[in-house]
């Protein structure tokens, strides 16, 4: 019971007009304006992707034919030509990169995820891997130049492959570690309980179960490596010939690659070369998209688009599961 009327507060009545929506009110205007601005910016952000894809298709499909696989790159005033050797070169060097980075990366990831997740060496290694993801691709090339080209005295496909593997390793490690951590603890318990040595738990249960995630990571690394130019510029250089010229396979020589071809041709004043650059770009982007689809088919859940963004996400979220010790 309110006794003191002196303390009673004057209440204003709420009128209908106060409650109704009013677009012209300053707060609503501001809100609406920013909404519109956001929509515009969001759509603008999508625009480059569509522009790139559309241009690739329009300009790249002009020269799309089997000759791109079978013919060699044209020299200055030549017409026609293809880039079969560049495709082969890219495949070979990415293959070398995979051969070096995948086993090494998976083994390290095993230690990080399972054998010593909380140890100091694991924390240091994770830090190093994350730091290496930020390594500029040109410096991977500089490193391979210093470590391999100067040593062997020649530009070569393996030098290019080593440069690529440097870029692939952090990706493989971080994604493989994530994939292995996702294997449920109870499944690992079951493997231990049935009498597996720790290695058997890893090889018979953890790795097979984590395989889709590991493969996704490998595909990501491959997709990125296939498109890299800078690491190859002065390790594998370029070549206008097939890798297996003259009846024998010679890898210790300058090797062509798709990315370097695009780079070289884009700077030339010849329409022929420029057209081929577009076609090669179309082919490259197409390969990347196909790899994405393959990894989705293999993957168990929707990891989104397989790009470096995924790795960066993992770098962040991997901090969150720092509460499990038992």
Partner 1 sequence: MTTTLEGSSTMETGGTVPTEADFPQTAIQCRIQELFYGDFLAVRNSEVNIRKQQITAFIGPSGCGKSTVLRCINRMNDLIRTFRFKGELLFQGINIYDSSIDPVAVRRHIGMVFQQPNPFSMSIYDNVAFGLRLNRFKGKLAEKVEHSLQRAGLWNEVKDKLKNNGLSLSGGQQQRLCIARAIATEPSVLLMDEPCSALDPIATRIIEELMLELKEKYTIAIVTHNMQQATRVADETAFFSVDIYKGGRTGYLVEFGPTDQVFSDPQEDLTKQYISGEFS
Partner 2 sequence: MARRQFVRVVFSGDSVSVPPSKWEVFCDQAFRGFTWACTLGIILLLFYVLYEIGKKAVPAMGEHGLSFLITQSWDANKGEFGILPQIWGTLYSSFLALLIGGTFGVTVAIFLTQDFMPAPLQAVFKNIIELLAAIPSVVYGLWGIFVLIPLIRPFCEWIHTHLSWIPFFSTSLAGPGMLPAALVLAIMILPTVAAVSQDSLLAIPYKVKEAAYGMGTTRWEAILKVMLPTASHGIFGALVLGLGRALGETMALAMLVGNSNQITLSLFSPANTLAALLALNFPEAGKVETQALMYAAIMLLLITLVVNVIGQAIITLTSKHRGV
Task: Using CB under 8 A, pick the residue from 22, 28, 67, 152 that binds partner 2.
Answer: 28
Task: Using CB under 8 A, pick the residue from 285, 294, 298, 299 that binds partner 2.
Answer: 285
Task: Using CB under 8 A, pick the residue from 195, 246, 247, 269 that binds partner 2.
Answer: 195
Task: Using CB under 8 A, pick the residue from 136, 208, 267, 304 that binds partner 1.
Answer: 208
Q: How far is the CB of 251 from partner 2 (least distance, A)?
A: 20
Taking CB under 8 A as the rule, does residue 321 contact partner 1?
no
Interacting span for partner 1 (CB under 8 A) from 132-140, 193-201, 252-260, 267-275: 193-201
User: Rounded to an integer, what is the distance from CA 255 to the centroid of its chain?
Assistant: 23
- Tell me the chain's radius of gyration from C-alpha atoms: 28
Interface pattern 77-116 for partner 1 (x via CB under 8 A): ----------------------------------------
Interacting span for partner 1 (CB under 8 A) from 54-62, 181-189, 249-257, 303-311: 181-189
Interacting span for partner 2 (CB under 8 A) from 8-16, 45-53, 71-79, 179-187: 45-53
Taking CB under 8 A as the rule, does residue 48 contact partner 2?
yes
Give the Cα separation of 185 and 69 in Å (integer).
48
Distances (CA, A) of 305 to 19, 153, 239, 290: 45, 40, 33, 11
Task: Using CB under 8 A, pick the residue from 180, 202, 205, 221 that binds partner 1.
Answer: 205
Taking CB under 8 A as the rule, does residue 205 contact partner 2?
no
Report the residue count for the chain. 326
Pick what 186 binds: partner 2, partner 1, none; C-beta below 5 to 8 Å, kind-dependent: partner 1
Nearer to partner 1, 44 or 297 (CB): 297
Distances (CA, A) of 324 to 145, 161, 222, 302, 320: 43, 38, 32, 25, 10
Interacting span for partner 2 (CB under 8 A) from 2-10, 78-86, 204-212, 305-313: 305-313
Taking CB under 8 A as the rule, does residue 290 contact partner 2?
no
Interacting span for partner 2 (CB under 8 A) from 12-20, 22-30, 67-75, 206-214: 22-30
Task: Using CB under 8 A, pick the residue from 68, 92, 226, 251 that binds partner 2.
Answer: 226
Give the Cα separation of 285 and 60 in Å (integer).
11
3-class DSSP string for 124-187? HHHHHHHHHHCCCHHHHHHHHHHHHHHHHCCCCHHHHHHHHHHHHHHHHHHHHHHHHHCCCHHH
In the structure encoding, which two tokens stand for residue 206, read together? 């953890």
Pick what 193 binds: partner 2, partner 1, none; C-beta below 5 to 8 Å, kind-dependent: partner 1
Pick what 91 binds: partner 1, partner 2, none; C-beta below 5 to 8 Å, kind-dependent: none
Buried b (16+ CB within 10 A) or exposed e, 36-56: eeeeeeeeeeeeeeeeeeeeb
Give the Cα separation of 31 and 215 in Å (integer).
45
Interacting span for partner 2 (CB under 8 A) from 4-12, 16-24, 71-79, 196-204: 196-204
Footprint on residues 64-103 left by partner 2 (CB under 8 A) = none
Buried b (16+ CB within 10 A) or exposed e, 307-322: eeebbeebbeebeeee
In terms of Cα–Cα distance, which of 184, 174, 165 is closest to 217?
Answer: 174
Q: How far is the CB of 112 from partner 1 (least distance, A)?
A: 16
Contact between 249 and 81 under an 8 Å Cβ cutoff? The reply is no
Give the Cα separation of 32 and 191 in Å (integer).
58
Contact between 317 and 241 under an 8 Å Cβ cutoff? The reply is no
Binding residues for partner 1, rule: CB under 8 A, are 184, 186-187, 189-197, 200, 204-205, 208-209, 325-326
């Amino acid at each position: 019971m309110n006794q003191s009327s002196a303390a009673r507060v004057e209440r204003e009545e709420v009128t209908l007009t106060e409650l109704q929506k009013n677009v012209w009110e300053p707060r609503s205007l501001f809100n609406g304006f920013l909404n519109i601005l956001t929509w515009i910016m969001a759509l603008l952000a999508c625009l480059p992707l569509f522009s790139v894809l559309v241009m690739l298709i329009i300009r790249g499909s002009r020269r799309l034919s089997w000759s791109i696989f079978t013919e060699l790159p044209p020299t200055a005033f030549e017409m026609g030509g293809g880039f079969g050797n560049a495709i082969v070169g890219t495949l070979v060097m990415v293959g070398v990169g995979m051969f070096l980075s995948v086993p090494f990366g998976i083994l390290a990831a095993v230690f990080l995820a399972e054998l010593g997740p909380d140890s100091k060496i694991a924390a240091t290694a994770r830090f190093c891997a994350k730091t290496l993801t930020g390594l500029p691709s040109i410096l991977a090339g500089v490193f391979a130049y210093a470590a391999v080209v100067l040593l062997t005295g020649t530009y070569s496909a393996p030098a290019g492959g080593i440069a690529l593997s440097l870029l692939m390793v952090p990706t493989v490690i971080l994604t493989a570690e994530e994939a292995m951590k996702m294997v449920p603890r109870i499944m690992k318990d079951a493997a231990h309980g049935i009498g597996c040595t720790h290695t058997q738990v890893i090889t018979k249960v953890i790795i097979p179960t984590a395989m889709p995630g590991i493969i996704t990571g490998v595909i990501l690394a491959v997709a990125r490596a296939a498109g890299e130019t800078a690491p190859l510029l002065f390790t594998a250089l370029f070549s206008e010939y097939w890798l297996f010229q003259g009846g024998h396979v010679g890898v210790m020589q300058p090797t062509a690659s798709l990315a370097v071809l695009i780079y070289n041709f884009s700077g030339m004043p010849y329409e022929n070369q420029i057209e081929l650059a577009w076609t090669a770009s179309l082919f490259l982007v197409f390969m990347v998209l196909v790899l994405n689809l393959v990894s989705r088919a293999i993957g168990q859940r929707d990891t989104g688009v397989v790009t470096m963004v995924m790795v960066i996400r993992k770098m962040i979220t991997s901090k969150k599961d720092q509460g499990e010790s038992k």
